[in-house]
Amino acid sequence: MQRSAGLYGSLIVDVAEGEEEPFQYDGEFDLLLSDWWHKSAHHQEVGLSSRPMRWIGEPQSLLINGRGQFGCSLAAHYSNDTSSLSQCDITGHEQWAPSILRVDPNKTYRIRLSSTTALASLNVGIGATRLSSTSLYSIVSAAFIFSSSDMVIAFAFLN
């Protein structure tokens, strides 16, 4: 709903002038997850606020950094339903093609995960040989190391 109404993006607060980051990075990535209904926010609001409530269904697209597919699926060849979506034909140069995060071995990268989903709950899986978590909800914590991760990106309300 937010995207169709014009609200979209991450708010990143830089470290104060004269202060240093608690960790050093060779690079960083910002991943913004979104759900996108292709009908207007007003149409969705009418359905959700009606009595009885009318469920507006699942989003027509899931977006990562504003990119996503519509009318096709990257996993269509796994479906047994012949009436389902067709396979996406992606060469990698399309404006809507998924982004590839390119990294070098033995380098340290910060990955900021944000979600602007209205109704979808999304998770992100990262497989690697060594990952270290240094903060959660922008609060610096003691680093802990793990070999892979499956994270639910959710809202957090801190006092």
pLDDT digits (tens, 9 = 90+) for 29-80: 888 888 888 888 888 888 889 999 888 888 888 888 888 877 777 666 676 6
pLDDT score for 157: 38
Q: Assign residue 114 the CATH number of its domain.
A: 2.60.40.420
Does residue 90 lie in a domain region? no
| pTM of the shown model | 0.71
How many degrees, rounded to 5, is the angle at CA 126 between CA 124 and CA 127?
150
Q: Residues 113, 137: contact at Cβ < 8 Å?
A: no
Does residue 81 lie in a domain region? no
Does residue 92 lie in a domain region? no
Most confident of 42-51, 85-94, 116-125, 132-141: 42-51
Q: Residues 26, 108: contact at Cβ < 8 Å?
A: yes
User: What domain range is 130 assigned to?
Assistant: 2-10+23-68+102-153
- Domain count across the chain: 1
- Residue 82 in tokens: 């012949």
Does residue 55 lie in a domain region? yes
Does residue 147 lie in a domain region? yes
Report the helix count and the strand count for the chain, using DSSP H and E.
2, 7
